[in-house]
């Protein structure tokens, strides 16, 4: 056998082993579906290119375009934002976003390029947004080079004037949905675990589902301590159900950063930093207390946001950071996946052991004024042990890197699995005791 054939056979074997390992994992079947869809999308795009397809083929190079909505009339009603491109064909609708009744800003997830932005209202009250119900428009250019964080692009102000409607020369017919940022329970279908896999393997589809990034269980109250929860890879806010269930809601208000976990972590860190700044701004005159809580990979997103906030001066309202079972040292399996998988999920590049993102993240000093509590887990019940101490998913040495231990105010270990740590009463009580310190009178 020639050297070339031997190397090819080894590559085939490695990929076959990777697929078998993936199928044995929780998200294995989801990856196979992702691989199949991406292969089909690439083939389709080759012959029938479209801007909308770029959001699915190459989401890590898309950006969030965000700008203000100015309503000339007092009517508070849902609106439909449509981003249109003519790059490949005339009036291609790239993104459609329904804005809640109270929305004063818009967001759209778009690849680089030029867009016309149209806003529609249900003027005739028939439950549909239609072409002749245009109430606002603007133009925008999405250019990553003009964004200070390569995650969010500042968009133009769109003036909404329902008394002087217009019409577009392409078909718009969308049913009005009841969009909200407040849900009565984490059991709501909106937080179903299947959307976690969607966020990992089809980020644009999750953004289409959520129509936003921050959600709560009640209207915002600036006089309470805001506890901002960040889920892990392929997770949803429902992962926090047990920890939230026993919180003193008279003093603490849970909010959830619901993000597509398949995108690059630096981008998600930039977005989370903007969210924290917005909460801080809206808390002026109130309690002005924010606690960040990240689980698994969510801890990396939170740490990234903390570093970005530190560059301009850490908000005084940020009172504490807690991380649960976070892989500060990365994941060896992600590194292997990058080497042999035919199509790579963007976030793998960041969570892979020794990645550029992790080296940069842990190369910056943690702000000394911010209390930081590191929760780690070490119970491995898996049939295929990893060869060293772990919680069944994350190596102990990855959770307890020298950087993490040195930065932490306190390290708390629990004999729990990676998922079990969020459903352990001892963990919950320890977390509540830490929350109490944020409301204590100095």
Instruction: Annotate 202-216 with DSSP letters as a single string.
Output: -HHHHHHHHSSSEEE
Do β-strands 410-414 and 252-257 pair in parallel, antiparallel, or remain unpaired? Answer: unpaired
For residues 152 and 131, give the distance between their C-alpha atoms in angstroms, rounded to a whole number: 29
Q: What is the per-residue pLDDT across 414-431, written as a single tens digit (0 to 9) for each?
A: 999 999 999 999 999 999
Per-residue confidence (pLDDT) for residue 117, from 0 to 100 = 98
* CA 23 – CA 243 distance, rounded (Å): 30
pLDDT digits (tens, 9 = 90+) for 341-375: 788 889 999 999 999 999 999 999 999 999 999 99
Average pLDDT over every residue of 246-253: 95
In 3-state terms the chain splits into helix, strand, coil percentages (rounded to 5) of: 35, 25, 40
pLDDT band at 333 (very low <50, low <70, confident <90, very high): confident
Does 26 have pLDDT greater than 80? no
Model pLDDT for residues 105-158, shown as the tens digit of each residue: 898 999 999 999 999 999 999 999 999 999 999 999 999 888 777 778 999 999
**CA–CA separation, 263 and 350 (whole Å):** 9
With beta carbons less than 8 A apart as the criterion, state whether 179 and 122 touch.
Answer: no
* pLDDT at residue number 278: 86
**Average pLDDT score over residue span 325-346:** 87
pLDDT, position 27:
53
Band (pLDDT 50/70/90 cuts) for residue 28 is low
Q: Which residues contact 99 (CB under 8 A, 6 or more apart)?
A: 69, 78, 79, 80, 81, 106, 179, 211
Whether the pLDDT of residue 386 is over 60: the answer is no
Considering the chain, what is the average pLDDT of its residues?
Answer: 88
Establish how many alpha carbons lie within 13 A of residue 250's alpha carbon, considering only the half-sphere containing its beta carbon: 0
Taking the model in full, what pTM does it have? 0.87
Backbone angles phi and psi of 145, in degrees to 5: -70, -15
pLDDT tens sequence across 254-307: 999 999 999 999 999 999 999 999 888 876 655 579 999 999 999 999 999 999
- Residue 305 has which token pair? 């946001």
Three-state secondary-structure class, residue 423:
helix
pLDDT of residue 285: 55
SS3 427: helix
pLDDT band for position 212 (cuts 50, 70, 90) = confident
Percent of the chain clearing pLDDT 70 (strictly above): 90
Alpha helices in 342-416 (DSSP H): 348-351, 356-361, 396-399, 402-407
Closest CA to 77 of 117, 124, 109, 116: 124
DSSP string for 301-343: HHHHHHHHHHHT---TTEEEEEEES--TT-BHHHHHHHHH-SS
Residues 393, 381 contacting (CB under 8 angstroms): no
CA–CA distance, 20 with 6 (Å, rounded to integer): 21
CA distances from 257 to 157, 186, 244, 260 (A): 25, 13, 14, 10
pLDDT at residue 2, as a whole number: 55
Q: Which two tokens stand for residue 265?
A: 């972590």
């Amino acid at each position: 056998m020639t050297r070339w054939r031997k190397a090819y056979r080894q590559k085939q074997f490695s990929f076959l082993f990777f697929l078998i390992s993936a199928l044995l994992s929780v998200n294995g079947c989801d990856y196979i579906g992702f691989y199949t869809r991406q292969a089909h999308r690439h083939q389709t795009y080759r012959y029938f290119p479209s801007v909308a397809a770029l959001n699915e083929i190459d989401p890590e190079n898309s950006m969030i375009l965000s700008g203000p909505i100015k309503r000339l009339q007092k009517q508070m009603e849902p609106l439909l934002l449509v981003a249109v491109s003519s790059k490949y064909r005339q009036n291609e609708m790239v993104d459609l976003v329904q804005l809640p009744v109270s929305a004063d800003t818009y967001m759209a997830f778009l690849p680089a390029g030029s867009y016309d932005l149209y806003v529609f209202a249900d003027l005739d009250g028939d439950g549909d947004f239609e072409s002749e119900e245009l109430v606002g428009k603007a133009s925008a250019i999405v250019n990553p080079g003009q964004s200070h964080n390569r995650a969010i692009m500042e968009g133009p102000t769109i003036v909404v004037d329902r008394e002087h409607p217009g019409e577009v020369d392409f078909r718009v017919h969308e049913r009005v949905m009841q969009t909200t940022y407040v849900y009565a329970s984490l059991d709501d279908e909106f937080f179903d675990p299947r959307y976690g896999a969607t966020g990992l393997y089809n980020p644009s589809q999750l953004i289409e589902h959520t129509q936003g990034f921050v959600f709560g269980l009640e209207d915002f109250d600036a006089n309470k301590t805001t506890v901002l929860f960040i889920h892990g890879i392929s997770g949803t806010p429902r992962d926090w159900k047990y920890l939230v269930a026993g919180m003193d809601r008279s003093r603490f208000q849970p909010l959830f950063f619901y993000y597509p976990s398949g995108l690059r972590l630096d981008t998600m860190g930039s977005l989370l930093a903007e969210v924290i700044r917005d909460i801080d701004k809206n808390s002026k005159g109130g309690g002005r207390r924010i606690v960040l809580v990240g689980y698994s990979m969510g801890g990396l997103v939170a740490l990234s946001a903390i570093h970005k906030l530190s560059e301009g001066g850490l908000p005084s309202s940020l009172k504490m950071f807690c991380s649960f079972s976070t892989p500060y040292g990365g994941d060896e399996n992600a590194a292997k996946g990058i080497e042999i998988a035919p199509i790579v999920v963007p976030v793998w590049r960041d969570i892979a052991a020794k990645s550029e993102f992790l080296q940069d993240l842990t190369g910056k000093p943690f702000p000394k004024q911010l209390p930081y509590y590191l929760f780690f887990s070490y119970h491995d019940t898996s049939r295929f042990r990893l060869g060293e101490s772990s919680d069944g998913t994350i190596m102990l040495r990855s959770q307890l890197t020298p950087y993490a231990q040195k930065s932490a105010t306190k390290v708390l270990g629990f004999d729990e699995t990676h998922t079990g740590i969020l459903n352990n009463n001892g963990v919950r009580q320890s977390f509540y005791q830490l929350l109490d310190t944020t409301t204590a009178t100095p």
